[in-house]
Every structure is written in structure tokens, then in C-alpha cells.
Chains A and B, each alone.
Chain A
Amino acid sequence: MQQLIVRDVTQERLQRTVQGLKDAGATNVDPKRQADGKYTVTATFPD
């Protein structure tokens, strides 16, 4: 299992980003809100 951590994802791009990571093969995608209102998205990949 490998993790990709994507920082500073904007609110407007969040849904598309999460979907893109899932389409690329992420088995788990977990967005967390940062203090500045942007999101840190942690995606787990099987390889």
C-alpha cells in the first residue's frame, strides 16, 4: 500500500480531485480541511 498526500486542494476542485484519484486506482481517499480552508487529500493506492 502506498499513500499520496495532496496538499492545498481548493474547495471548488475537491470533488473533481477526489474522483480523479479514485479513477486512477485509489482504494481510499480521505479529504481533511486545513486551517486555511483548503483541503489535504490522502489517497491510498494498492501498489
Chain B
Amino acid sequence: MTDRIESKIWVFVEQRRHLVAEVGLELLRKAQTLAKPLQWKVAAVLIGRELGALADMVLSFGVDEVLVADDPLLEHYCNQAYVRAVEGAIRQYEPQVLLLGATAMGTDFAPRLAARLRTGLSAHCIDLDVTPDGQLLSLVPGWGGNVMARISCPKTRPQVATVLPGVFPVPEPGRARGKIVRLNAQLQQEDLGYRIVETKREEAPKSGLETAEIVVAGGWGIGSKADWTRVEELAAALNGAVGATRPPVDEGWAEEKQMIGQSGRTVRPRLYIGLGISGHMHHLVGVKSSELSVAINSDPKAAIFGHCDVGLVGDLKEIVPPLIEAIRQYSQQEPE
């Protein structure tokens, strides 16, 4: 018997080897904001093995309940086992909304779970809203972000969504006030569809992008690997981080970890400068929270000029070197 679960929004807080993916925490806070007008409670869902300390940590983010599926068979991620771990509780307590991060794990777990529950799932959301009658509206970029769709799930429950990491800020922990509820998963060996035999993870590469106050990003318009140094020099002059769109990464000018956008990182700097970036929504969703955005592009019709604060039309080769020079002079005038 488990305790009664009252929460109407459940947030899956992903962990691997007891390391929590930040997007889970981001979604906890967002869920609390969504739940407030409806006076709903919010639960975090933790799945794994020996999760005691982790459950306490998640509780400190102010959730009402932390639902814990703790089992030796859940030590490593397997989507079928994870589904098995929570489906009973979902059927019994009927949450209205279930949120997951759009990570490698979340994008695999969510569709399998939604199909088991025969309910609707919206993917890679960049914003969420709940109507007064409890309908989840998910904002989803489609067609490479050229259009946006608002997706609803009117007839089935729970309404499930995966949300891109980084679109909501990471909250600070506070005072724990909720309770921990253990889910009775009752797993069997047969519930595991596969067995993980090896996991290889590098240290999270530090591109410094997510926390950077200043980001200088380059796109296809930079032109070549040799010209890419201009992006790096400008970033260095401003003491900022270097970002990229997809093409420079594909071309090998920039590294994968530097990619910003829907399939890369989300940044929220005070200053964003885009060089030679045309402005596909794919990239722009990753920079939309920048305080001041500047674009330099040779094409006056580039879409990015419709999305940024300050625009310069011209040849990067002619604008960027004197820009770097001027910035260096200002920086030298007033050393810290």
C-alpha cells in the first residue's frame, strides 16, 4: 500500500548515477507556477536505486510530494522498467499533467509511457501554460522552428509533455515542506527489455555557454575555419563564450558542445552577438532569453533582424576587426 498521492502535476526528475539532470528542477519550479492558480499540488518523480538522499534533496525544492520508485532492478535506465515503475500509480492517482525533460532519457521514456497509458504527448516544448479548466497548452516548434504549434490534449489524461532543457531557469533550493511517498513498483527481471553493459560519459564539457554573461555566436555566414577565429577573437575581447549554429559544427569550425538551439544548448546571457547567422528558429529558441541581442549579417533580409534588438548589415570581414579593436581599447581604458 502506498500513501494517497494528491499531486495533479507530476514532474519526472531524471537521475543517472545519482546525478540529477537540471531540467527536472527547472520543470519543478515551472510546475509550481502552473499549479498555483488551480490550487494543484506538485510531485517530483524519482526512479532508480537507493534514492534516499536524492529524495531529500528534491524535497528541498518545495514540492508537495516526492514519489520514489526505488528498486535494485531500476539501478540502470531501461524504458520498459521505468514505465512499469510508475504506470500503476498513474492509473490509480490520475495526475492531470506529467512533465519530463527532453533529454536522451526523457525523449525515450516519455513516448513509451504515453503509449502505454494511451494518452497524448507533446515533444520538445519551449513553453507551457495551463488553462483555468486544467488543460495543458504546450508550445512546440515545428518545421525547424519556422512555425510554432500550440498542442493540447483534450480527451485523455495525463497530459504529457517533454520540455527542452534550459528554457526555464534553475531554481534555488529552499525549505522542505512536502512528504516522500514510496511507489510500489513490484518489478520483475522480465520487465527489463535490455541490459546496459557499458556507460561512457565524459565530464560534462564546459563550454561555459549556459552561465556566460556574454555569448558571441557564429553561423554559416562566417565562411571558413580560418574566418572562425574572428568569432573567437570577438568573444575573447568581450570576455564571453563562443557559440555556434548547426552548420559551423557540421563543418568542423566549432565543437558540438558549442551548438546553441533546439538540438543544442539554451543560453540566457546579458549580451548575445550573432555573426553571420541567418536566424532559423532552430537556433533562435536557444537565445530568446538574451537581454540584449545584436546581429551582424551581410544579408539585409536575414530573418535574424526580425528577432534581435540591434542589427548591422555589412561584411563581417570589414566590421568585426575594427569592432574588436574598439572593444579592446575601451577595455584597456578602464581596467578592472
A pairs with B? no
A residues with a Cβ closer than 8 A to B are: none
